[in-house]
C-alpha cells in the first residue's frame, strides 16, 4: 500500500473545524479571536516509551494523550494535531487499531487530525498538538510553570505511581496479582489527559505542569521556573496510587511504592500550585471537571524540595527522576 493510500484509509476524516485538513502542503487553522495558540510536541519511540509488542489501539490513545496532557498543563482548549509516523511497514493489522485508538481520544476532546507525515523507518510516533488559550496582548490565561509563590499549596490530580509499577511488573521486577496488574497496566497504557481540570484551573492555579517524568523531577521544573522551593508530606503519599492497600503491600515494599509515586513517571496527571486562600476554588475546579485532586504539600521560599513527615522532619530516599538521557 502506498503512503497516500495509507493516509487516506486510516487517518483522513472530513474536516470539521479546521479551514483545511489532511491532503495539502499545509493544514490551515483558525485561532479564535482573543486567543493565543498553545503548541506542544511529543515523540514516542519503540522500546523507550512503549514496549515493541504494545497493543496498537492503546498506543494510539497514549500517543495523543501525552500531548493533550501538555495542553492540559497550560489550561489550553484542544484544537487540532498533526501526526508524523515512521513505520517498519504499512501493516493494516497495526494501523487499523492504532488509528481507532488515536481518533477515539481525538474525538472525545474535539481535537482534529489536520496533517502530518508517514515514512518507513523504526517505529516512531511524533504528535504536535495545538490548543488555544484566551489572551490579550498584555496577558495570557495560560497556566505556566513560573507562577508558584511561597505560601501556595501544592496539589496533584488523580493517581500517581501506578504506571511505573506496571512497567516494572511487565519487566518482571514484581509479580502482581492479575486484578492489580490490570489496574496499573491501564494507567500505563491508557493515561487520562486532565484537559477539563486544566481548563477549570485557569485563573485558579498559580502554576502547573504535567507529571510525565516523575513528580519530583517535574515539580523541580516548576520550582526552578518560579524561583521557589517546596515541601511534600510523605505521609499518605502511597495512598496516591490507584492500586493501594494490603494486596499491594504484600508484594511491593512501601518504600518502593513511595518511589513510584514520587519518581515513577508516565502518570500524565497535573501537579499545580494555588494560593492558600483559593482552596475552595480548587475544590470547585476539581468538582467541575470531575477530577480527584489532592493537596500534598506547600511552596516555600527556600529553594529545593524536601519530603517531610508529619513532624516536619526530612524523609530521605533514593528517588530519582526518569530522564530520557539519564
Positions in 21-60 near a copy of itself (CB under 8 A): 23-31, 33, 36-43, 45-49
Measure Cα distances from 129 to 109, 146, 150, 192, 227 in Å.
12, 22, 32, 16, 29
Binding flag, residue 142, a copy of itself (CB under 8 A): yes
CB of 81 vs a copy of itself, minimal distance in Å? 9
CB of 317 vs a copy of itself, minimal distance in Å? 20
Residue from the set 51, 55, 116, 244 that interacts with a copy of itself by CB under 8 A? 116
Binding flag, residue 20, a copy of itself (CB under 8 A): yes
Binding flag, residue 157, a copy of itself (CB under 8 A): no
Residues 296-325 that bind a copy of itself (CB under 8 A): 323-325
Residue from the set 57, 59, 76, 241 that interacts with a copy of itself by CB under 8 A? 76
Helix (H, G, I), strand (E, B) or coil at 95: helix
**CA pair distance 62, 111, nearest whole angstrom:** 14
Beta strands in 241-310 (DSSP E): 269-274, 293-300, 304-308
Residues 240-299 that bind a copy of itself (CB under 8 A): none
Binding flag, residue 326, a copy of itself (CB under 8 A): yes
Quick check: 90 and 123 in contact, CB under 8 A?
no
β-sheet bridge partners, residue 306? 231
Task: State the Rg of the chain over Cα.
Answer: 20
Residue from the set 118, 159, 206, 289 that interacts with a copy of itself by CB under 8 A? 118
Q: Identify which of residues 78 and 161 has a Cβ nearer to a copy of itself in the complex.
A: 78
Q: Which residues contact 220 (CB under 8 A, 6 or more apart)?
A: 305, 321
Q: What is the DSSP string of 274-287?
A: E-GGGHHHHHHHHH
CB atoms within 10 A of CB 265: 22
Stretch in the footprint of a copy of itself (CB under 8 A) among 51-59, 85-93, 287-295, 310-318: 85-93
Residue from the set 1, 8, 104, 288 that interacts with a copy of itself by CB under 8 A? 1
Residue from the set 9, 100, 108, 128 that interacts with a copy of itself by CB under 8 A? 128
Residue from the set 96, 97, 100, 124 that interacts with a copy of itself by CB under 8 A? 124
CB of 154 vs a copy of itself, minimal distance in Å? 17
Residue from the set 57, 73, 228, 296 that interacts with a copy of itself by CB under 8 A? 73
- Phi, psi values for residue 126, rounded to 5°: -120, 115
**CA pair distance 268, 212, nearest whole angstrom:** 5
Residue from the set 58, 63, 64, 71 that interacts with a copy of itself by CB under 8 A? 71
Residue among 109, 106, 128 at smallest CA distance from 117: 128
CB of 128 vs a copy of itself, minimal distance in Å? 4
Quick check: 137 and 34 in contact, CB under 8 A?
no
DSSP assignment letter at 203? T
Amino acid at each position: 500500500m502506498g503512503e497516500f493510500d495509507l493516509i487516506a484509509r486510516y487517518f483522513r476524516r472530513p474536516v470539521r473545524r479546521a479551514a483545511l485538513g489532511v491532503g495539502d502542503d499545509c493544514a490551515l487553522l483558525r485561532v479564535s479571536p482573543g486567543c493565543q495558540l498553545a503548541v506542544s510536541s511529543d515523540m514516542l519511540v519503540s522500546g523507550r516509551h512503549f514496549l515493541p509488542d504494545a497493543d496498537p489501539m492503546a498506543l494510539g490513545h497514549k500517543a495523543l494523550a501525552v500531548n493533550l496532557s501538555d495542553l492540559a498543563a497550560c489550561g489550553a482548549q484542544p484544537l487540532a494535531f498533526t501526526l508524523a509516523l515512521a513505520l517498519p511497514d504499512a501493516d493494516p493489522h497495526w494501523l487499523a487499531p492504532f488509528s481507532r485508538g488515536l481518533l477515539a481520544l481525538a474525538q472525545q476532546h474535539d481535537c482534529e487530525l489536520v496533517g502530518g507525515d508517514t515514512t518507513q523507518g523504526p517505529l516512531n510516533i511524533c504528535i504536535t498538538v495545538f490548543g488555544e488559550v484566551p489572551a490579550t496582548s498584555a496577558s495570557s490565561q495560560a497556566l505556566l510553570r513560573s507562577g508558584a509563590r511561597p505560601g501556595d499549596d501544592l496539589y496533584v490530580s488523580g493517581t500517581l505511581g501506578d504506571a511505573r509499577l506496571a512497567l516494572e511488573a511487565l519487566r518482571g521486577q514484581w509479580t502482581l496479582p492479575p486484578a492489580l496488574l490490570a489496574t496499573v497496566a491501564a494507567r500505563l497504557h491508557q493515561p487520562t489527559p486532565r484537559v477539563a481540570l486544566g481548563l477549570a484551573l485557569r485563573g485558579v492555579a498559580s502554576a502547573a505542569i504535567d507529571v510525565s517524568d516523575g513528580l519530583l523531577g517535574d515539580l523541580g521544573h516548576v520550582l526552578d521556573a518560579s524561583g521557589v522551593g517546596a515541601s511534600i508530606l510523605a505521609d499518605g503519599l502511597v495512598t496516591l496510587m490507584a492500586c493501594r492497600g494490603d494486596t499491594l503491600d504484600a508484594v511491593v515494599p512501601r518504600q518502593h511504592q513511595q518511589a513510584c509515586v514520587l519518581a515513577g513517571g508516565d502518570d500524565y496527571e497535573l501537579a499545580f500550585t494555588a494560593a492558600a486562600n483559593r482552596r475552595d476554588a480548587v475544590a470547585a475546579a476539581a468538582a467541575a471537571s470531575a477530577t480527584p485532586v489532592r493537596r500534598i504539600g506547600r511552596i516555600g521560599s527556600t529553594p529545593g524540595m524536601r519530603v517531610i513527615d508529619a513532624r516536619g522532619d526530612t524523609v530521605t530516599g533514593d528517588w530519582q527522576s526518569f530522564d530520557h538521557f539519564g
